[in-house]
Amino acid sequence: MSEELSQEFIEGYTGLLLSSWTNEDERARLLADPAAYAAAKGLPVEPGAVVRVDETPHDGLFTQAEVAAAWSGTPGVHTLLVPATPVVDLDEIDEADLEAIAAGSVNVNINVYVVLV
């Protein structure tokens, strides 16, 4: 995958992030079997690849280049950048948005903020 991520990847990755931040059961599923969870969210998991979850806090939002490098930068290893603390204002997401996310749609308008520590 190049540094330019496909719209399908971006939608799957965004859905994965929001699901893991808003639902403890979803986060548990992600951490229990990252490869299966990523594939279920529509991410292109290479056969035999290991999928890791990096929960390291991040100062601000990830760039597409950072996400692409983590996902495809090491042959045979995909790393999902999923900080334990959300980098979006989850209070902006209502039940209809959550249902849309769960259904695979990420056409949800939310305000993104940067947390500076």
Q: pLDDT tens digits for 105-114?
A: 545 554 443 3
Task: Reply yes or no on whether the pLDDT at 92 is more than 80.
Answer: no
Task: Reply yes or no on whether the pLDDT at 102 is more than 80.
Answer: no
Contacts for 28-37: CB closer than 8 Å, 24+ residues apart: 30/80, 30/82, 34/80, 35/78
Q: C-alpha angle with apex 84: 83 to 86, nearest 5 degrees?
A: 75
Q: pLDDT tens digits for 27-47?
A: 999 999 999 999 999 999 999
Contacts for 88-94: CB closer than 8 Å, 24+ residues apart: 88/18, 88/21, 88/112, 88/113, 89/113, 90/21, 90/22, 93/18, 93/22
Identify whether the C-beta of residue 64 lies closer than 8 Å to the C-beta of residue 5. yes
Sign of CA dihedral 8, 104, 70, 34: negative
Contacts of 109 (CB under 8 A, 6+ apart): 92
For the full predicted model, state whether its pTM sits above 0.95. no
Distance, in Å, from the CA atom of 100 to the CA atom of 62, rounded to the nearest integer, reads 23
What average pLDDT score do residues 88-110 get? 56
